[in-house]
A and B are shown apart, each in its own frame.
Chain A
């Protein structure tokens, strides 16, 4: 068995008396989609912020491709190969779709210190951006101002920006949120094709998508992982049923 791309061990974070995450460990293997599910307030957002470096952990370590990135800033983790998409779109709304993707290309080259030549006239940047737009099917909206995009297109754009980084691993925070059934289906198909490029750590509420995509599922409740396993394992797990599905019922 090969080494995990992303190896998270014993992450914890408390806010005052509240233990948002408690000794969380999980791995992301090459080629897999590993979904994290859990009820609201289970600590999923906190966990993502800890993994991506937006939040300093109280304890625990994060390894990316065998490298300890626990002390890295968000930027450094991105440079090391971690690409994140946001639950609520974080895009430059005044800029065009192309500019948003070119931003990713600039980040991927880690060379923002170019003051003279137009970014949109720089072939290396634009080619990289166009390739990403092609993959997510946003080529037609290339010159649209981001604020005028539909909700679904914004989700696609989030993924496109992540693609430009040519990451080692994706961390996606509810990419299906707010999409209609049709949109979810399209995106599900696309993510399915993405796993060969880089594995995906997928936080998602949409159970249909999760069951369709995930190789493994971890269930996070009150900051703890109560179960990890295949789709079938989780479906049949009594613990999960009690703790998770029971609550929703």
Chain B
């Protein structure tokens, strides 16, 4: 039985909506929180999937953007709840607890940093690109650990979730709604972008840079723009993740997190629209179910990942639809 990818995608999205609604009826608020976590991780991975799946940029440092988004939220909310202003010498900025404002700040910050990291990193390729992005991740990680003003390695606690006009974000299903809508928007963007001239050119640049140059396009520019868009979406996910936990810490910058984002995509299917979503759901479910069975659940996670690489190229989607994913 080979499924058509469109049906599979629709089923996954519906499932993602149905589970929390069912949990709402049966009064299982934690299940909603769990699904929200999967949705946010999926959003981060959708971002990475633009760079990695379409553009072939194996960024081992996407935690930079996840963490930046998180810290943008943490710092703004911290100043808002302590009624202090951020002092930049010549001027100062008040904090805020309004989510959309925080998102705009997070997204802008991530765009700037992605532009800078992209400009420097895209001079390299292959393994060197993997490693230079890792290096940037480590720089941010160590910086965050020693940044005592914002908690250093202890991180920053935000005692109540930030506000969204018209909603009560502390109610799990409402916060889930916000995250789900943003994920849906990101998926729409991914889908349009992948099929638009930009995506087509970027996808070709992953496969053959020489061809793209020969038709008069510059692969480096395509990849840089992809990297920035990618970083922005992952950054937005970081801000949501921080709000889900009401907490930010340097672990959001860790290389393990960068690795996990890659893992999510591979589990689902590289370059596939719903790959990150399926990957995130599978990952969170495994973490939850296996983690409940044994403290040695990492062994089983390892075995599952290994089997995916060895026997299921193309991830879950590849397995179900019988089509391999993008080669990176």
Is there a contact between chains A and B in the complex with CB atoms less than 8 Å apart?
yes
Residues of chain A touching chain B, judged by Cβ–Cβ distance below 8 Å, are 52, 54, 73-76, 78-79, 83-84, 86, 90-95, 99-100, 102-104, 106-108, 110-120, 122, 125, 161, 164-165
Across the interface, do A84 and B198 meet the contact criterion of CB distance under 8 Å? no
Q: Mark B185-196, 1 if CB is under 8 A from A, else 0.
A: 000010011011
Closest 8 CB pairs of A and B: A107-B215, A78-B216, A79-B216, A92-B204, A107-B216, A74-B213, A90-B211, A92-B207
**Which residue among B198, B199, B214 has the maximum number of chain A CB atoms within 10 Å of its CB?**
B214
Across the interface, do A108 and B198 meet the contact criterion of CB distance under 8 Å? no
Which residues of chain B (207-223) have a CB below 8 Å from chain A?
Answer: 207-208, 210-218, 222
Q: CA of A117 to CA of B196 in the docked complex: distance in angstroms?
A: 5
User: What's the nearest-Cβ distance from chain B to residue A154, in Å?
Assistant: 12
Any A CB within 8 A of the CB of B197: yes
Give 18 A-B contacts (CB < 8 Å), ordered by A residue.
A52-B214, A73-B218, A74-B213, A76-B216, A86-B214, A92-B211, A95-B207, A99-B200, A103-B211, A107-B212, A112-B198, A113-B225, A115-B193, A115-B196, A116-B193, A117-B192, A118-B195, A125-B197
Q: CA of A161 to CA of B195 in the docked complex: distance in angstroms?
A: 19
Q: CA of A119 to CA of B19 in the docked complex: distance in angstroms?
A: 36
User: What's the nearest-Cβ distance from chain A to residue B311, in Å?
Assistant: 21
User: What's the nearest-Cβ distance from chain B to residue A88, in Å?
Assistant: 10
Across the interface, do B203 and A78 meet the contact criterion of CB distance under 8 Å? no
Q: CA of A37 to CA of B141 in the docked complex: distance in angstroms?
A: 58
Q: Which residues of A contact B198 (CB under 8 A)?
A: 112-115
Across the interface, do A95 and B204 meet the contact criterion of CB distance under 8 Å? yes
In chain A, what residue has the closest Cβ to B324? A94
User: What's the nearest-Cβ distance from chain A to residue B321, in Å?
Assistant: 15
In chain A, what residue has the closest Cβ to B213? A74
Contact of A114 among B196, B211, B216, B327 (CB under 8 A): B196
Across the interface, do A106 and B211 meet the contact criterion of CB distance under 8 Å? no
Contact of A165 among B197, B199, B210, B216 (CB under 8 A): B216
Q: Which residues of B contact A111 (CB under 8 A)?
A: 197
Any A CB within 8 A of the CB of B201: yes
Q: CA of A73 to CA of B210 in the docked complex: distance in angstroms?
A: 12
Across the interface, do B201 and A103 meet the contact criterion of CB distance under 8 Å? yes
With A94-B207, A95-B203 already in contact, the answer to whether A106 and B214 are too (CB < 8 A) is no
With A95-B203, A106-B201 already in contact, the answer to whether A78 and B214 are too (CB < 8 A) is yes
In chain A, what residue has the closest Cβ to B325? A94
With A91-B208, A92-B204, A103-B204 already in contact, the answer to whether A119 and B196 are too (CB < 8 A) is yes
Q: Which residues of A contact B214 (CB under 8 A)?
A: 52, 74, 78, 83-84, 86, 90, 161
Q: CA of A103 to CA of B214 in the docked complex: distance in angstroms?
A: 10
User: What's the nearest-Cβ distance from chain A to residue B209, in Å?
Assistant: 9
Q: Which residues of B contact A99 (CB under 8 A)?
A: 200, 204
Q: CA of A68 to CA of B266 in the docked complex: distance in angstroms?
A: 47
Across the interface, do A106 and B208 meet the contact criterion of CB distance under 8 Å? no
User: What's the nearest-Cβ distance from chain B to residue A132, in Å?
Assistant: 12
User: What's the nearest-Cβ distance from chain A to residue B185, in Å?
Assistant: 13
Q: CA of A168 to CA of B218 in the docked complex: distance in angstroms?
A: 20
Q: Which residues of B contact A108 (CB under 8 A)?
A: 215-216
Q: CA of A107 to CA of B216 in the docked complex: distance in angstroms?
A: 5
User: What's the nearest-Cβ distance from chain B to residue A167, in Å?
Assistant: 10
With A118-B195, A120-B195 already in contact, the answer to whether A90 and B210 are too (CB < 8 A) is yes
Q: Which residues of B contact A100 (CB under 8 A)?
A: 204, 211
Q: CA of A164 to CA of B218 in the docked complex: distance in angstroms?
A: 17
User: What's the nearest-Cβ distance from chain A to residue B123, in Å?
Assistant: 15
Q: CA of A115 to CA of B188 in the docked complex: distance in angstroms?
A: 11
User: What's the nearest-Cβ distance from chain A to residue B292, in Å?
Assistant: 40
In chain B, what residue has the closest Cβ to A106? B197
Any A CB within 8 A of the CB of B326: yes
In chain B, what residue has the closest Cβ to A99? B200
Across the interface, do B210 and A112 meet the contact criterion of CB distance under 8 Å? no
Q: Which residues of B contact A74 (CB under 8 A)?
A: 213-214
Across the interface, do B197 and A112 meet the contact criterion of CB distance under 8 Å? yes
**Which residue among A78, A79, A107, A165 has the maximum number of chain B CB atoms within 10 Å of its CB?**
A107
**Which residue among A73, A114, A115 has the maximum number of chain B CB atoms within 10 Å of its CB?**
A115
With A103-B204, A106-B197 already in contact, the answer to whether A112 and B211 are too (CB < 8 A) is no
User: What's the nearest-Cβ distance from chain A to residue B171, in Å?
Assistant: 34
User: What's the nearest-Cβ distance from chain A to residue B315, in Å?
Assistant: 15
Across the interface, do B203 and A92 meet the contact criterion of CB distance under 8 Å? yes
Q: Which residues of A contact B193 (CB under 8 A)?
A: 115-116
User: What's the nearest-Cβ distance from chain B to residue A113, in Å?
Assistant: 6
